[in-house]
């Protein structure tokens, strides 16, 4: 299922009037499910496979298709709708398989709505699951944790199943996991604890498959930290440069230390990198990265790092989190001040979100600070579902709303973009943005 519903009426109103606000989450919500396309790629052609998007269950009267078996993947924010959809398909006689990050975090809950669930990465168990399905002998749980999966063996996703006209970007994955371990991170480290990369040739063949259905596509790398393996990242960027595409990815701030990589990126069609800065100073990110306190050690050099990346003609989408422990009502002003001084082309401001399966969720649950422990529909990144340690919930909500009204004010957005474009004129090469 795709789509994320902004629940808060005040936010909805802001989102409708401020350019840039909720833009990124809308983009994510409108991406096709690469996991399902990948499993379709592993499914023998004897199966007749269809890919269906259900952006809003409330908007459909009838089930979107009559199937013998249905595999469903969804964000936490939409998982209750996904369960309803699963229940309806089961009532109609289909076998339902659920998987993904939320199901891996909450297997007991998911099992109540499925004939089978997949825990962890699905590729190692998918072939067995399909043969059990054919024999009418599905197991309730297919647990791939502890089974090593090499991305060199990744199947070609079935991009051909997509109605490509409805997407403004398609996804290709080049790595899974991350060498870091941020307390709040609900990304692929929860499926793949070890950082691993896909061979560059395999990535290029996926890009070329997409180009067969979309001549000059915009590709979003479905990665959490693309350049964590710098040698692989350089090879990848060089290979993408030859493909005449525009692309976007997520990475960490250390790419600023690598002028060779930045030079390759500039010429490779990289339109933007998204970087989780989390907070503009060291105090705010202290302890967030739990292996080596890496983010805290970098935070005081954010300004120069952003300048160095953007001076190569690559725009940065800087992400900030409000409500982090130790940050109080001064945080709203600190974030706004940093955004203004940084020259960031794009900004994403969200509230700390305790996704299931994360150490943050466990800690807040343990200490009685979750407002509604299983209100997954509040996992939108914009809804507060925990008690902040230094301010009230109401103050965090109010400060967040006021801050986004300022950050996404039309004149500020225009000024940020104009400043970057002015800067670009001093950089030889393609226009950015």
Residues that bind ligand SF4 (CB under 6 A): 178, 180-182, 185, 187, 189, 224-225, 252, 276
Angle at the Cα of 179 (from 285 to 32), degrees rounded to 5? 95
Least separation in angstroms between residue 186's CB and ligand SF4 is 8
Count the neighbouring beta carbons within 10 Å of the beta carbon of residue 104. Answer: 22
- Give me the helices (H) in 143-287, please: 200-213, 230-241, 259-266, 282-285
In whole angstroms, give the CA distance from residue 306 to residue 419.
Answer: 13
CB-wise, 41 or 276, nearer to ligand SF4? 276
Return the CA Rg of the chain: 21
Q: For residue 169, is it left (φ>0), alpha (ψ between -120 and 50) or beta?
A: beta
CB-wise, 138 or 187, nearer to ligand SF4? 187
In whole angstroms, give the CA distance from residue 49 to residue 215.
Answer: 24
CB-wise, 190 or 412, nearer to ligand SF4? 190
Kind and range of the H or E run holding 39: helix 34-42
Least separation in angstroms between residue 228's CB and ligand SF4 is 8
Least separation in angstroms between residue 316's CB and ligand SF4 is 15
Sheet with 116-119, side-by-side order of all strands: 69-73, 95-99, 116-119, 141-143
CB-wise, 177 or 343, nearer to ligand SF4? 177
CB-wise, 190 or 378, nearer to ligand SF4? 190
Least separation in angstroms between residue 242's CB and ligand SF4 is 27
CB-wise, 261 or 285, nearer to ligand SF4? 285
Least separation in angstroms between residue 277's CB and ligand SF4 is 11
Least separation in angstroms between residue 294's CB and ligand SF4 is 8
Least separation in angstroms between residue 142's CB and ligand SF4 is 25
Nearest to 219 by CA among 267, 164, 176: 164
CB-wise, 1 or 187, nearer to ligand SF4? 187
Could you tell me how many residues make up the chain?
Answer: 433
Strands, E, within 7-73: which ranges?
A: 69-73
Asked whether the beta carbons of 276 and 319 are under 8 A apart, the reply is yes
CB-wise, 195 or 214, nearer to ligand SF4? 195
Angle at the Cα of 16 (from 15 to 18), degrees rounded to 5? 65
Least separation in angstroms between residue 101's CB and ligand SF4 is 12
Least separation in angstroms between residue 141's CB and ligand SF4 is 26
In whole angstroms, give the CA distance from residue 265 to residue 214.
Answer: 22
CB-wise, 183 or 383, nearer to ligand SF4? 183
Q: For residue 391, is it left (φ>0), alpha (ψ between -120 and 50) or beta?
A: beta
Q: Is 98 helix (H, G, I), strand (E, B) or coil?
A: strand
């Amino acid at each position: 299922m795709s789509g994320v519903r902004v629940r808060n009426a005040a936010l909805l109103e802001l989102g409708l009037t401020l350019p840039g606000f909720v833009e990124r989450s809308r983009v994510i919500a409108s991406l096709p499910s690469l996991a399902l396309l990948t499993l379709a790629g592993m499914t023998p052609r004897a199966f007749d496979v269809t890919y269906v998007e259900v952006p809003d269950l409330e908007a459909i009267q009838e089930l979107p298709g009559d199937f013998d078996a249905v595999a469903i993947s969804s964000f936490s924010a939409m998982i209750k709708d996904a369960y309803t959809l699963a229940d309806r398909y089961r009532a109609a006689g289909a076998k339902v398989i659920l998987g993904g990050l939320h199901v891996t975090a909450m297997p007991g809950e998911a099992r109540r709505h499925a004939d089978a669930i997949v825990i962890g990465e699905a590729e190692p168990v998918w072939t067995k699951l399909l043969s059990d399905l054919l024999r009418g002998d599905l197991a309730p749980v297919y647990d791939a944790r502890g089974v090593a999966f090499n991305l060199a063996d990744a199947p070609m996703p079935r991009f051909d199943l997509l109605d490509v006209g409805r997407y403004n970007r398609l996804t290709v994955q080049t790595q899974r996991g991350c060498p870091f371990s941020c307390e709040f991170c609900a990304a692929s480290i929860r499926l793949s604890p070890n950082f691993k990369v896909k061979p560059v040739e395999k990535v290029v063949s996926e890009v070329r498959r997409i180009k067969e259905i979309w001549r000059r596509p915009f590709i979003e790398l479905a990665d959490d930290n693309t350049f964590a393996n710098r040698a692989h990242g350089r090879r990848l960027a060089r290979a993408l440069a030859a493909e005449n595409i525009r692309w976007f990815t997520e990475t960490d701030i250390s790419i600023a230390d690598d002028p060779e990589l930045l030079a390759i990126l500039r010429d490779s069609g990289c339109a933007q990198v998204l970087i989780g800065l989390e907070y503009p100073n060291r105090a705010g990110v202290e302890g967030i990265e739990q292996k080596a306190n890496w983010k805290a050690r970098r935070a005081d050099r954010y300004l120069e790092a952003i300048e160095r990346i953007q001076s190569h003609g690559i725009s940065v989408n800087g992400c900030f989190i409000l409500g982090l422990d130790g940050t109080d009502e001064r945080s709203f002003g600190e974030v706004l001040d940093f955004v203004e001084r940084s020259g960031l082309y794009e900004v994403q401001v969200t509230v700390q979100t305790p996704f299931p399966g994360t150490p943050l969720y466990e800690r807040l649950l343990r200490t009685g600070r979750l407002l509604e422990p299983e209100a997954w529909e509040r996992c939108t990144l914009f809804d507060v579902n925990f008690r902040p340690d230094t301010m009230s919930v109401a103050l965090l909500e109010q400060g967040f709303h006021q801050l986004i009204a300022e950050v996404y004010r039309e004149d500020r957005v225009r000024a940020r973009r104009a400043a970057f474009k002015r800067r670009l004129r001093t950089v030889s090469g393609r226009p950015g943005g």
